[in-house]
Amino acid sequence: MGIKSEETKNETNHALAKISRRKLLLGGAATAAVALVKSSFGEIQTAIPESLYIPADPTKVQGPPPFDLGTRSPFERPLKKTSDTSSRTPLQDLYGTITPADLHYERHHGGVPTIDPEKYELLIHGMVEKPMIFTLADLKRFPAFSRICFLECSGNFRTGKEEMMPQEIAGLTSQSEWTGVMLSTLFREVGIKSKASWFLAEGSDAAVMTRSIPLQKGLQDGMIVYAQNGEAIRPQQGYPARLFLPGWEGNTSVKWIRRIEVSDQPYMTREETSKYTEGIKGGKIRQFSFDMDARSIITYPAYPVILQQGWVEIRGIAWTGRGKIVKVEVSTDAGKTWNSAKLQGPVMDKAHTYFRYLWNWRGDETEILSRAIDETGYIQPTMKQLMEARGRDMGGYHLNPITAWRIKRDGTVLFRPEGKA
Ligand SMILES: Nc1nc2c(c(=O)[nH]1)N[C@H]1C(S)=C(S)[C@@H](COP(=O)(O)O)O[C@H]1N2
Ligand SMILES: [Mo]
């Protein structure tokens, strides 16, 4: 078969798309109906089947040709759990540690703005030698840098009932390979004045999200990212560019960033005074709790899995905003004894780390738990320890308790809810 020009290939796809579903089912010439999807670039063809035709022998029928856009197997339907203002990554459906971009959790305070990349501008001003405006093309001309990191919302904990999946308990964390320009590069370009110590990051969404960030963090490993897992970041993640601060509470990674103002003090914005603070003991409030503490969660077996007796590979993810995970311990006897899980290498800084632990379940009722230990020596606490350390008014941010799964005799796996729902 000769090489087809792009044009004829598209024509073929188009023709295929027009074959009626009935014909496909009867004729068996192709295995799936084809959907036309409207995008801002016009019509594109995808192999999303309208109704699934499964040949008895796939070696005996010609399959559909390539399409402009790939799709998941129709047998796989991982979905985000959506509320009005957030959506959660289906941790229990994922393997390894990279979150497919369309399953990245979302948290929006004013919805997702549509920004024309041609008109996008980032202003850096304040205590700088030379205030500058960078277009997206300008940002892309600087040396690029890629890094695999998690991003986690500091409100990433839910509890309340036994029938909760990992996604519902801890689905506000996701991991991507982020690509962009180091903030230090941009700061060198504008020339930071020696007295400067903070900067304000401002988004161009309806919430005009603003956070004050210590200059030191920006210089250390802050980035302006424009790509995620090899493609332009998605609108939901801040298209065309966002701030990304590895290991810090998600709220500080301001999306759709349009302005950075360098100063010698924090700005005390709404998000860092009335919000994103935590009660601690003695009626005090803790402010600027930037680092995400070490945490882990077993994602298999977890609700709603029904477990079979015999060998089970317990799997999950562990992460810390303070560097690397050095150890994950798993208990299969409700926390009486702990054993080291295998960490999937290479273990990366400020990244979800996959862990596995082989266990022979003999059908007894028990609880399985995991706890993460990071390179600072920090050990993931129990909910009881958290409450003791922070006091009664600790609020809903920065909660990273050990998650326990109860295994019943019939193999049912249930979440053991703790803390305020
Ligand atoms: N401009 C802007 N930036 C923002 C937000 C927002 O609403 N607007 N939400 C913040 C919060 S609370 C979190 S947890 C992360 C979520 O990033 P994601 O939606 O890409 O997962 O973005 C942060 N940056
Ligand atoms: Mo968040």
Co-location of 181 and 325 in the same domain: no
Q: pLDDT: is 367 or 46 the higher one? A: 367
Q: What is the per-residue pLDDT across 130-158, written as a single tens digit (0 to 9) for each?
A: 999 999 999 999 999 999 999 999 999 99
Give the 3-state secondary structure of residue 15: helix
State the distance from the centre of ligand 2 to the C-alpha of 84, rounded, in angstroms: 14
Query: Which helix (H) or strand (E) element contains residue 369?
Result: strand 366-374
Q: What is the per-residue pLDDT across 155-168, written as a single tens digit (0 to 9) for each?
A: 999 999 999 999 99
Co-location of 270 and 179 in the same domain: yes
State the distance from the centre of ligand 1 to the C-alpha of 86, rounded, in angstroms: 9
The residue whose CA is least distant from atom 19 of ligand 1 is 106
Co-location of 266 and 308 in the same domain: no
**According to the model, what pLDDT value does residue 274 have?**
86
Instruction: Indicate whether 13 pLDDT > 50.
Output: no
pLDDT (average), residues 259-287? 92
Chain centroid to Cα 27, Å, comes to: 43
**According to the model, what pLDDT value does residue 308 have?**
97
**According to the model, what pLDDT value does residue 128 have?**
98
Co-location of 181 and 141 in the same domain: yes
DSSP state of 172: S
Domain coverage including residue 214: 82-276
Co-location of 104 and 51 in the same domain: no
pLDDT (average), residues 11-39? 42
Give the number of the atom of ligand 1 that is nearest the alpha carbon of residue 109.
Answer: 7
Number of domains in the chain: 3
The residue whose CA is least distant from atom 2 of ligand 1 is 255
Instruction: Indicate whether 42 pLDDT > 90.
Output: no
Co-location of 271 and 301 in the same domain: no
**According to the model, what pLDDT value does residue 33 have?**
47
Nearest-10 Cα torsion for 28, 33, 34, 35: 170
* Cα 332 from Cα 284, distance rounded (Å): 38
Q: Report yes or no on 289 lying in a domain.
A: no
Co-location of 259 and 125 in the same domain: yes
Residue type, 258: R
Q: Report yes or no on 107 lying in a domain.
A: yes
DSSP state of 246: T
Co-location of 94 and 216 in the same domain: yes
Q: Is the Cβ atom of 234 under 6 angstroms away from ligand 1? A: no
Co-location of 253 and 384 in the same domain: no
Q: Is the Cβ atom of 175 under 6 angstroms away from ligand 1? A: no
Output the furthest CA–CA distance in the chain (Å, rounded).
78
Query: pLDDT class for 35, splitting at 50, 70, 90?
Result: low
Q: Report yes or no on 65 lying in a domain.
A: no
- Residue 420 has φ and ψ, to the nearest 5°, of -75, 135
Q: By the 8 A CB rule, do 221 and 280 touch?
A: no
Co-location of 154 and 300 in the same domain: no
Q: Is the Cβ atom of 153 under 6 angstroms away from ligand 1? A: yes
Instruction: Indicate whether 281 pLDDT > 80.
Output: yes
Q: Report yes or no on 142 lying in a domain.
A: yes
Query: pLDDT class for 18, splitting at 50, 70, 90?
Result: very low
The residue whose CA is least distant from atom 15 of ligand 1 is 250
Q: Is the Cβ atom of 112 under 6 angstroms away from ligand 1? A: no
State the distance from the centre of ligand 1 to the C-alpha of 186, rounded, in angstroms: 22
**According to the model, what pLDDT value does residue 49 have?**
58
**According to the model, what pLDDT value does residue 282 have?**
87
Which structure tokens are listed for 317? 């993810």
Q: Is the Cβ atom of 210 under 6 angstroms away from ligand 1? A: no
Q: Is the Cβ atom of 233 under 6 angstroms away from ligand 1? A: no
Give the number of the atom of ligand 1 that is nearest the alpha carbon of residue 249.
Answer: 14
Q: What is the per-residue pLDDT across 342-401, written as a single tens digit (0 to 9) for each?
A: 999 999 999 999 999 999 999 999 999 999 999 999 999 999 999 999 988 888 999 999
**According to the model, what pLDDT value does residue 32 have?**
44
CATH number at residue 384: 2.60.40.650
Co-location of 337 and 202 in the same domain: no
Domain closes at, from 220, 242, 276:
276
Q: Report yes or no on 287 lying in a domain.
A: no
Which structure tokens are listed for 412? 């049912």
Q: Is the Cβ atom of 155 under 6 angstroms away from ligand 1? A: no
**According to the model, what pLDDT value does residue 7 have?**
38
Q: Where are the alpha helices (DSSP H) in 268-375?
A: 270-273
Mean pLDDT over all residues of the chain?
90
Please state the pTM of the whole predicted model. 0.89
Q: Report yes or no on 76 lying in a domain.
A: no
Q: What is the per-residue pLDDT across 186-222, written as a single tens digit (0 to 9) for each?
A: 999 999 999 999 999 999 999 999 999 999 999 999 9
Instruction: Indicate whether 315 pLDDT > 70.
Output: yes
Beta bridge partners of residue 213, listed in sequence order: 199
Q: What is the per-residue pLDDT across 93-107, written as a single tens digit (0 to 9) for each?
A: 999 999 999 999 999
Instruction: Indicate whether 330 pLDDT > 70.
Output: yes
DSSP string, 140-182: HHSPPEEEEEEEE-TT----S-SS--HHHHH-SEEEEEEEEEE
Q: Report yes or no on 288 lying in a domain.
A: no
State the distance from the centre of ligand 2 to the C-alpha of 250, rounded, in angstroms: 5
Nearest to 386, CA basis, from 366, 368, 370, 403: 403
Co-location of 227 and 313 in the same domain: no
Q: Report yes or no on 196 lying in a domain.
A: yes
Q: Is the Cβ atom of 258 under 6 angstroms away from ligand 1? A: no
Instruction: Indicate whether 40 pLDDT > 90.
Output: no
Q: pLDDT: is 238 or 33 the higher one? A: 238
Ligand index nearest the alpha carbon of residue 155: 2
CATH number at residue 98: 3.90.420.10
Q: Is the Cβ atom of 256 under 6 angstroms away from ligand 1? A: yes
